[in-house]
Amino acid sequence: GDVGAGEQVFSANCAACHAGGMNVIMPEKTLQKDALDQYLAGGRKEASVVMQVTNGKNAMPAFGGRLSDEDIANVASYVIDQADGDKW
Ligand code: HEM
């Protein structure tokens, strides 16, 4: 996916709960490398983020049908790029 396009998707759809890679609802479940390794179903990879964004989990809403597959792929690339590079 396109990391730059994903950053725009993130700002518009995710930052309300995940500004700066944090998590305002479940503080331990951040978008940082160690948290994704520990908590993200399927492990720290783009396909796992695509799954969670598409389907939602607990208090996180599902974005399937609200965002295009392309937008979801791009935001997943952005989240993994940020985490892998310790950019947040
Ligand atoms: C968890 C991404 C939107 C609330 C997560 C995780 C990812 C993620 C990758 C796993 C983090 C971890 O387990 O450490 C995104 C993306 C979003 C988005 C890319 C936008 C497309 C939101 C919004 C909310 C939210 C808008 C709040 C209304 C949560 C919560 C969890 C979570 C509560 C923890 C779920 C659980 O394991 O029980 N998010 N998120 N997310 N997100 Fe989001």
Token look-up 């331990």 returns 28
- Interface ipTM: 0.99
Mutation probe of ligand 1 site: the residue of 7, 44, 50, 52 with most atoms within 8 A of C-beta: 52
CB 31 within 8 A of CB 38: no
Q: Whose CA is nearest to atom 37 of ligand 1?
A: 57
Distances from the Cα of 72 to the Cα of 27, 35, 54, 60, 87, angstroms: 23, 20, 7, 15, 20
pTM: 0.98
CB 78 within 8 A of CB 7: yes
CA of residue 85 to ligand 1 center, whole Å: 19
The pLDDT of residue 37 is 98
Provide the token pair at 1: 């996916």
Question: What is the pLDDT tens value at each position of the chain, 88 positions in all?
Answer: 999 999 999 999 999 999 999 999 999 999 999 999 999 999 999 999 999 999 999 999 999 999 999 999 999 999 999 999 999 9
The Cα–Cα gap between 84 and 64 comes to 25
